[in-house]
Amino acid sequence: MASPDAQASPVIIAIGNPNTGKSTLFNALTGLRQKTANFPGVTVEKHVGTVTVESGELTLVDLPGTYSLSARSIDELIAIDVLVGNAAGLAPPTALLVVLDATNLYRNLFLAHQLRELGLPMVFALTMTDLAPGKGVTVNVEALQERLGAPVIPVVARTGEGMEALRRALASAGTLPVPGATPAMPELRESATTLQAELAAEAASVTELERAILEPSGPAGRRLAERIGDAVSQELQSRNEALGGPSLPAAEARTRYAAIRDIVEAVETRTPPAPSPLRRLGRVFNRPVPAFALFLVVMAVVFQAVFSWATPLMDIIDAGAATLSAAVSSALPPGALNSLLSDGVIAGVGAVVIFLPQILILFLFIIVLEDMGYMARAAFMMDRIMRAAGLSGRAVIPLISSFACAVPGIMGTRVISDRRTRIATIIAAPFMTCSARLPVYALLIAAFVPRQSVAGGLLNLQGLVLFGLYALGIVGGILTAMLIKRTALRGADPTLVLELPGFRLPDARSVAIRLIDRGKAFLKRAGTVIFTVAIVVWALAYFPRPSAELLAQQEQATATATATLSGQALEEELTRLANLHAAQAMEQSALGRIGKGIEPIFRPLGWDWRLSAAVVAGFPAREVVIAVLGTIFAVGNEAEPEALSDRLQNAQAPDGTALFTLPVVLGLMVFYAFCLQCAATVAVIRRETNSWRWPVFAWTYMTVLAYVGAFLTVNIAGAVA
C-alpha cells in the first residue's frame, strides 16, 4: 500500500472509455504540469498531472481508457489497482472524475455503473456535447445528474466551455457524498464480502474479490492466487459455480445494461441526424474498395512525409554535427580527448538527433490519425489480410511505422490486447526496412548494381533491387510471425472486438503535448542506447593506439610530402595521407583485430577483415557501418558517397581479385535485410515484453537467418553469374 504522505494533495482519478476525449480533457486541466511514466513492471502508461483550483492543488491521474473493470486486460487490472489504492507510489484516490461521451451514453454508462459501487465520491464530465446536436442527440443533464447521484458537468475541452465549473467541482469533490448505489449483483457482493472476512485482514478489497469470483481463471483470479496463495483459487472457483459459472460475466453485462437502458431512456432523446456533406463523404469512403484506396493514399502521404519532409532537417543536423566536430577537433590538441569529443560524443549525439525529424513526423501522423478515429478503421479494414499471417488488424500501423524505425513501431504494439499476437507483431517489426538500412542499400546499389533498364525500359534494375529488399523484409517478417504463431505462441484466434469511433477533429494542444511526450520517450529509450553504443564503437576503433614504429613511419611520410610538394598538390597529398593513416590506425585497433579474428566466420560470405570489422561495428547500430567503411577504406569517415563507392568498386581481396563482386554485394544486402543490428530495438523489445527471452530470441534468430540468407545468395548468385 502506498502511504498517503507520498502525495500531499488530494488524488483524483480520471477514468472513462477510450475515444471519449479523456486525454484531451486531462491535458486541458493540467497543461504541461504532467509527467508520464510506466506503472512499475508493466507497459501501462501512468499520466500524473497537477490541477490548480481555488483551494490549492490537486493531483490528477489519467488512467488508460477502458470499457469495463472486467480485469481481462493489463490496463483494466492496473485501473483496479489504482482505484482500490493498491498502486505503488500513488495514494488511494479521494474522488473519481468519470468521463462520459454525450453521444454514446449507453455504452459509457457501463463502466460508470461499475465505478458507482466503489464507494468513492464522483464527478462526471460530459464530453462531446458540441457534437451531440449534429448527431441528433439531446441529453437532459439535470435528469442524468439525479439518476447518477453526482454532479454532471458538460464540457468542451477545445473551447474551454464548462472547464471552470469542472475545476470548481473537482476542488470540492473529496467532500461530495458517495453515490449510494446498491450493488447490481447483490449475491456477488455478498459472496465477495464473506470471502474477504475469511481471508487475512487487508488481503484483498471487495472489488478485487468480485472481479476474481466473476472469472476465477482470468487475470484477476490468477493474480489473487499469486498474491495470497493457491488455496484461494479453489474458493473462487466454488463461489463462481454457486453464482452461475462461466456465464457469470455475461450475467453482469445483462443486469447492468438493463439498468442502463432505463437511465438512457429517461435522459436521452435521439432524432435521426441531419444529413451533412461530411456524413455522406464518410459513407462513401467507408465502402470496402474506396476505403482501401484511401488507406493506400494515407500511407503514401505518411511515407512521403517521413522520408522527404524530414530530409532537409536531417541534412542540417548532419552538417551541424560535422561542423561542430571539425571545430572541436581543430580547437583541441590532438589526442584521445580530442577524438573522444569530436568522433565519439558529437557523432554519438548526432546519431541520435538525426532520427528525431523522422520520428516526430511519424508520431505526429499517428497521433492525428488516432484522434481522427482513423486507426481503428484501418485495423478493421486490414484485419482479414493480417489474420492470414496470424496477426490482427491492429498490427498494421505498428508494422508500417517500423519502415521508419522499429522502435516506435514496437512501442505502438501496445494497442494489441492479445499477448501472443502482440509478441508476434513485435518480432515481425524489425524485419521491416527501417530508415537506417536505407543509406546502406543506397550506397551498395549505386556502387554495384548496373544502371540498366529491364522489362523493356519500364523498370530500372537499381530500383528493382531496392524494391526486392523491401519485399524481402516484409515477407521475412510475415513468415516469421506465422511461424511463431504456429509454434511457440500457438493458441485460439483472439477476438477483434473494436470500437469504430466516428470522425473527429483533433485538438492541437492535446496533439502537441502527446507529441512532445512521445519524442521524449524515444530519446530516453532509444537515444541513451544509441549514444552509448556510439561511444563504445569509438573506443574499439580508437584503442589501442598505433605503435611508435608506425607513428614514426607516418610522420616521416607527412614530412616528406611537406618538403617535396606545395600548394594544391600538397593539400591533396596531406588529405590522402591523413585518411591512409586513419585506416592504418583502425587496422591495428581493437575493432580491426576483431575483424581479422572473425574473418574466417564471414569468409564463406566473401567478406574480408575490413568488411567483417565494419559489419561487426554496425551490430549495435547498423547505420555506423558507412562511417566505419569510410575510415577503413581510407576515404575518411565523412566521405562523399561517390568517393566511397569508387573505393569500394576498386577494393581488392587478398588474392588480388575484386572484393565486392555482385554476388557478394547481393549477399551483404540480404544480410542487412534480415540482421537485427540495432541495440535500441533489442532494448525496446526487452522493455515491451518484460523479459529477456524475446529480445534474445529475436537477435539470435535474425542473425542466423541473415547469415544463412547471405550464404545462399552469394552461392546461388555466384553460380548464376
Partner 1 sequence: MPSRPTQSTLAELSVGRSAVVASIDDQLTGVQRLMALGLVEGCTVTLVRRALGGDPLEISIRDAAMSVRKAEARHIRVNTSSTNS
Binders in 122-141 for partner 1, by CB under 8 A = 135, 137
Position among 286, 338, 553, 584 found at the interface with partner 1 (CB under 8 A): 286
Q: Which stretch binds partner 1 (CB under 8 A): 357-365, 455-463, 490-498, 708-716?
A: 490-498
Position among 18, 439, 494, 506 found at the interface with partner 1 (CB under 8 A): 494
Residue 246 touching partner 1 (CB under 8 A): yes
Q: Which stretch binds partner 1 (CB under 8 A): 225-233, 378-386, 549-557, 633-641?
A: 378-386
Position among 498, 516, 570, 658 found at the interface with partner 1 (CB under 8 A): 498
Position among 227, 287, 486, 490 found at the interface with partner 1 (CB under 8 A): 287
Cβ proximity to partner 1, 258 vs 601, nearer residue? 258
- Tell me how far, at minimum, the Cβ of 270 lies from partner 1, in Å: 7
Half-sphere exposure of 262 (CA within 13 A, CB side): 8
CB 193 within 8 A of CB 53: no
Write the DSSP string, 575-595.
HHHHHHHHHHHHHTSHHHHHH
Distances 340 to 463, 534, 624 between C-alpha atoms, Å: 39, 10, 16
Cβ proximity to partner 1, 35 vs 270, nearer residue? 270
Query: If we measure between CA atoms, which residue out of 674, 677, 701 comes closest to residue 622?
Result: 677
Count of residues interacting with partner 1 (CB under 8 A): 47
153-191 in b/e form (b: 16+ CB < 10 A) is bbbbbbeeebbeebbbbbbebbebeebebebbbeebbeb
Residue 257 touching partner 1 (CB under 8 A): yes
- The cell numbers describing 480, all together, are 516469421
Write the DSSP string, 606-666.
T--HHHHHHHHHTSSBTTHHHHHHHHHTTS-TT--HHHHHHHHHH-B-TTSSBSS-HHHHH
The amino acid that residue 355 corresponds to is F
Q: Which stretch binds partner 1 (CB under 8 A): 155-163, 173-181, 255-263, 452-460?
A: 255-263
Residue 261 touching partner 1 (CB under 8 A): yes
Q: Which residues are CB-neighbours of 578 under 8 A, at least 6 positions away?
A: 636
Q: How many whole angstroms separate alpha carbon 670 and alpha carbon 44?
A: 36
Position among 151, 501, 595, 667 found at the interface with partner 1 (CB under 8 A): 501
Q: Which residues are CB-neighbours of 113 under 8 A, at least 6 positions away?
A: 184, 256, 259, 260
Residue 107 touching partner 1 (CB under 8 A): yes
- Tell me how far, at minimum, the Cβ of 399 lies from partner 1, in Å: 18
Write the DSSP string, 286-331.
TSHHHHHHHHHHHHHHHHHIIIIIHHHHHHHHHHHHHHHHHHHHHH
Residue 641 touching partner 1 (CB under 8 A): no
The residue whose grid cell reads 616528406 is: 560
- How many CB atoms within 10 Å of residue 32? 9
Site string for partner 1, 382-421 (x = CB under 8 A): -xxx-------x----------------------------
Residue 499 touching partner 1 (CB under 8 A): yes
Q: How many whole angstroms separate alpha carbon 45 and alpha carbon 48?
A: 10
Q: How many residues does the chain have?
A: 721
Residue 249 touching partner 1 (CB under 8 A): yes
Residue 491 touching partner 1 (CB under 8 A): no
Residue 495 touching partner 1 (CB under 8 A): yes
373 burial (CB, 10 Å; 0-12 / 13-18 / 19+) is middle
Q: Which stretch binds partner 1 (CB under 8 A): 102-110, 154-162, 647-655, 692-700?
A: 102-110
Residue 493 touching partner 1 (CB under 8 A): yes
- Tell me how far, at minimum, the Cβ of 288 lies from partner 1, in Å: 4
Residue 274 touching partner 1 (CB under 8 A): no
Query: If we measure between CA atoms, which residue out of 423, 578, 392, 436 comes closest to residue 489?
Result: 423
Distances 632 to 23, 541, 571, 580 between C-alpha atoms, Å: 51, 10, 21, 9
Residue 374 touching partner 1 (CB under 8 A): no
- Tell me how far, at minimum, the Cβ of 223 lies from partner 1, in Å: 17
Position among 379, 436, 465, 678 found at the interface with partner 1 (CB under 8 A): 379
CA angle 693, 699, 702 (to 5 degrees): 130
Q: How many whole angstroms separate alpha carbon 672 and alpha carbon 80?
A: 45
197-202: long-range contacts at Cβ-Cβ below 8 A with a sequence spacing of 24 or more? 198/235, 199/228, 199/232, 200/228, 202/1
Q: Which stretch binds partner 1 (CB under 8 A): 178-186, 254-262, 629-637, 681-689?
A: 254-262
Residue 250 touching partner 1 (CB under 8 A): yes
Cβ proximity to partner 1, 290 vs 597, nearer residue? 290
Residue 289 touching partner 1 (CB under 8 A): yes
Binders in 521-580 for partner 1, by CB under 8 A = none
Q: Which stretch binds partner 1 (CB under 8 A): 280-288, 339-347, 400-408, 450-458?
A: 280-288
Cβ proximity to partner 1, 495 vs 657, nearer residue? 495
Position among 59, 104, 612, 681 found at the interface with partner 1 (CB under 8 A): 104
Position among 85, 502, 519, 546 found at the interface with partner 1 (CB under 8 A): 502
Cβ proximity to partner 1, 288 vs 450, nearer residue? 288
- Terminal alpha carbon distance of the chain: 70
48-81 in b/e form (b: 16+ CB < 10 A) is bbebebeeeebbbbbbbbbbbbbbbbbbbbbbbb
- Tell me how far, at minimum, the Cβ of 497 lies from partner 1, in Å: 4
Binders in 57-86 for partner 1, by CB under 8 A = 67-68, 70, 72
Residue 496 touching partner 1 (CB under 8 A): yes
User: Which residues of this chain interact with partner 1, rule CB under 8 A?
Assistant: 67-68, 70, 72, 103-104, 106-107, 110, 135, 137, 246-247, 249-250, 253-254, 257-258, 261, 264, 270, 273, 286-289, 291-292, 376, 379-381, 383-385, 393, 493-502
